[in-house]
């Protein structure tokens, strides 16, 4: 049997690690969520930037594959997609998936900044006024701009099945599922209003949720519920 992958990510939140977890779960490959084990946190920290680490990571998630450490969410998915059939085989399709994933990473970073527009070193409560202003721009300008884009990608895809790329599920579909779920958690009113404009994306969300491996994962204790430690946070004053 292959040595299981080790996922290095904070315990207690979905965060960026969730995009990796969804790919591992859909692929059905064995992995250990290191920080959730007893004594896992020091191991995580050491692997990130311990003195002995030749390829340190600026931040988790990091995937440990044998002796190799792979950091940055989109980079981990580039690796997993190629290895486990969650990306096209041809280079052009691989680059297209990577481009879409990087655009997802952009909106995810912006979603984070709605509650921390000034500093990640300050509490939300200490930047609430600025958060309200940034969240308003995010709701009114940025979410529609990004979702228009991704809806267009799904609609223009000539492959059958309603996926983002080609005629088979890729890691981009899993990440779009997580994006729609996250935005719907953090901005329920906004997303309820916007949903009818994005039939392709919401159908894709439902389709991904029904994949047997994903559905089993979502029902399991391995799926940490959305909460206010993650990227997508439900602060009612930031939604309208």
Q: Compute the distance between CA of residue 19 and CA of residue 124 in angstroms, rounded to an integer.
A: 24
Contacts of a copy of itself in 112-131 (CB under 8 A): 113, 117-119, 121-122, 130
Give 91 or 220: the residue with its C-beta nearer to a copy of itself.
91
Q: Which of 133, 203, 209, 216 binds a copy of itself (CB under 8 A)?
A: 133
Per CB under 8 A, 137 contacts a copy of itself? yes
Collapsed DSSP state (helix, strand, coil) of residue 31: strand
Write out the binding residues for a copy of itself, residues 25-64 only, by CB under 8 A.
Answer: 49, 53-58
User: Nearer Cβ to a copy of itself, position 134 or 233?
Assistant: 134
The 8 Å CB, 24+ separation contacts for 210-214 are 211/26, 211/169, 213/25, 213/26, 213/27, 213/28, 214/22, 214/25, 214/26, 214/174, 214/177
CB of 97 to a copy of itself, least distance (A): 10
- Minimum Å distance from CB 57 to a copy of itself? 7
Contact status, residue 104 vs residue 172, Cβ threshold 8 Å:
yes
173 counts as binding a copy of itself under rule CB under 8 A: no
Distance from CA of residue 127 to its chain's centroid?
25
Whether cis (ω within 30° of 0) applies to the bond prior to 138 is no
103 belongs to the binding site for a copy of itself (CB under 8 A)? yes
Give me the least distance between CB of 163 and a copy of itself, in Å please: 14
Burial, 132: exposed, middle or buried (Cβ in 10 Å; 0-12, 13-18, 19+)?
middle
- Beta sheet of 31-33, edge-to-edge order: 31-33, 5-8, 62-65, 68-71
98 binds a copy of itself (CB under 8 A): yes
Q: Phi and psi at residue 88, in whole multiples of 5°?
A: -65, 160
Tell me which stretch binds a copy of itself (CB under 8 A): 17-25, 29-37, 65-73, 202-210.
65-73
> In the structure encoding, which two tokens stand for residue 225, read together?
């519920």
Count of residues engaged in binding a copy of itself, rule: CB under 8 A? 42
Tell me which residues touch a copy of itself (CB under 8 A): 49, 53-58, 68, 70-72, 74-75, 78-79, 92, 95-96, 98-99, 102-103, 105-106, 109, 113, 117-119, 121-122, 130, 133-134, 137, 141, 146, 149, 152-153, 156, 158
């Amino acid at each position: 049997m292959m040595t299981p992958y080790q996922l290095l990510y904070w315990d207690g939140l979905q965060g960026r690690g969730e995009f990796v977890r969804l790919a591992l779960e859909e692929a059905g490959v064995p992995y250990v969520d290191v920080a959730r084990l007893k004594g896992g946190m020091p191991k995580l920290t050491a692997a990130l930037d311990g003195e002995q680490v030749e390829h340190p990571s600026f931040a988790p998630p990091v995937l440990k594959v044998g002796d190799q450490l792979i950091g940055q969410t989109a980079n981990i998915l580039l690796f997993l997609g190629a290895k486990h059939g969650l990306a096209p085989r041809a280079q052009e399709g691989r680059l297209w998936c990577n481009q879409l994933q990087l655009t997802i990473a952009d909106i995810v970073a912006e979603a984070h900044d709605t509650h921390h527009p000034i500093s990640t070193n300050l509490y939300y409560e200490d930047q609430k006024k600025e958060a309200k202003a940034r969240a308003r721009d995010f709701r009114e300008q940025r979410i529609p701009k990004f979702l228009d884009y991704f809806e267009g990608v799904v609609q223009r895809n000539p492959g059958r099945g309603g996926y983002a790329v080609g005629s088979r599920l890729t890691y981009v579909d899993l990440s779009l599922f997580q994006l729609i779920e996250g935005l719907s958690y953090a901005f329920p009113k906004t997303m309820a209003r916007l949903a009818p404009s994005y039939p392709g994306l919401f159908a894709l969300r439902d389709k991904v949720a029904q994949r047997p491996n994903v559905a089993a994962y979502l029902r399991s204790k391995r799926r940490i519920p959305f909460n206010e430690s993650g990227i997508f946070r439900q602060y009612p004053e930031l939604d309208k």
